[in-house]
Amino acid sequence: MRPRSWRLLLALLVTAAWMLASSCGRTHRTIRIATGTRGGTFLPLGETLARSFARDVGDVDFVALESPGGRASIEMIERGEADLALLSNHVEGSSALRLIAPLYQETLQIVVRREASIASVTDLRGHAVSTGPEGSGTESIAHAVLGHFGIAPSALRAEHLTMTEAQNALETGRIDAAFLVAGMRTPAVDALLGRPDMALLSLGEPGRVGSALEGIRIDAPFFIVSAIPERAYGAQPETAVGTLDVEALLVCSERLDAELVYALTESLFAHKAELVQEQRLLASLDEHFDLSVSPYALHDGADQYLRRHEPSLLQRYTDQISLGITVAALVWSSVSAFYAARSRRRKNRIEVRYQEAMAIAKRLRGATGEARQAEIAALHALHDTVLADLADERLDANEGFTVLQRYLDTQLRHASASTPADGDTSSTLDPPA
């Protein structure tokens, strides 16, 4: 063999040996995500995140683990059985946890059997009620709400059921009510409210100052006063239902290294568009979140990612560090106020559009002939305006927008399907509450 051929063969052997050694030297690890029970929101969300993270982070497997509740998920991290967890922000904190990011808001939805004649929270006394699995976030929310209304757990025939179990128990009549905490339009609640014998229980009049809803937050400051809009579940509810929201958080063990958490945070925000295709609840995911929504400190890796564009003031302005800190604080305050004001304007704009839609629907009920066609055209124009507002970022693609768009689509379908003859003022349009 010629010397040149020997040298080529030797180079190939050295390269192959180096690649084999590098491959053997890499450690393959598994990251476990504690989620929730089957039938709820957290388990499918955790499975979606696991698949997304695995595509971005090399030499790491991600697996979503079922968990009976928030307290159990925290204990799994404390025992080293999980590395990440999906938790509601009201769950009692732990020094072993660090925040990666808030994901979306979860809603308390109390479903009752109409035959049980439960018109208020106080009517739950003596009834069979699912308050969620023991140690779960749902159970802690249920106890906070019941306690606010002066109802001891012993005053109920409490059952600790998962969301799927509670759904089955309501459908068979074994229980009369169930506390369910999940994103809006979660499948279990959707199925229950598709039945005529089920209804949502309100905690108080939405929007009224000094209502029972606002009183709950005195003892539970992480709760957010909220409302389930009318017709959020098809025909239900007929009027807005007062309730509470909590923030769903992605947290991790404090022991997780900063480099990995940086990569997870980067993956989470870089692939928001793809994630929303599978989990529409993540539409509100945003890097610019308020840290006060979390009882846990931000992990160093997540903090490094969120601050990746910020220059070091200490390096650039050593002689003016005090002035720099003051200016940064003022800028941060102004930016926060700007985003808060913009968010309020977008929310108000959705409410205005919703009022316009209800007004048109009301006029349609008695309209005939050319007047009816004019109202249908106005409904189409409003639908186009709402989409244009979304495209121009004058509206947010949040739950309120989804409800508004569903309402418009429903009214348009009804208007197209019901064209009464002249002189007939009947209509299949559902009148607004």
Quick: pLDDT tens for 15-47: 655 555 444 444 679 999 999 888 778 999 999
What pLDDT is stored for residue 5 in this prediction?
60
pLDDT of 227: 93
Percent of the chain at pLDDT above 90? 46
- Give the whole-angstrom CA distance, residue 296 versus residue 136: 18
Residues 423-427, mean pLDDT to the nearest whole number: 45
pLDDT score recorded for residue 7: 62
Confidence (pLDDT) at 335? 74
Residues 6+ apart with CB under 8 A from 200: 109, 110, 111, 112, 193, 228, 233, 236, 237, 241
- Reply yes or no on whether the pLDDT at 369 is more than 90: no
pLDDT of residue 13: 65
Whole-number pLDDT of residue 104: 93
Q: In angstroms, rounded to a whole number, what is the distance separating the alpha carbons of residues 220 and 416?
A: 47
Mean pLDDT of the chain: 85
Tens-place pLDDT, residues 174-184 = 999 999 998 88
Does residue 4 surpass a pLDDT of 80?
no
Quick one: pLDDT at residue 317? Answer: 63
Cβ neighbours of residue 171 under 8 Å, at least 6 residues apart? Answer: 192, 195
Q: What is the pTM of this model?
A: 0.61
Query: Residue 156: is its pLDDT beyond 90?
Result: yes
What is the predicted pLDDT for the residue at 429? 45
Q: Where are the alpha helices (DSSP H) in 194-320?
A: 212-219, 258-270, 272-278, 300-306, 313-316
Give the whole-angstrom CA distance, residue 340 versus residue 64: 34
pLDDT value for 64: 96
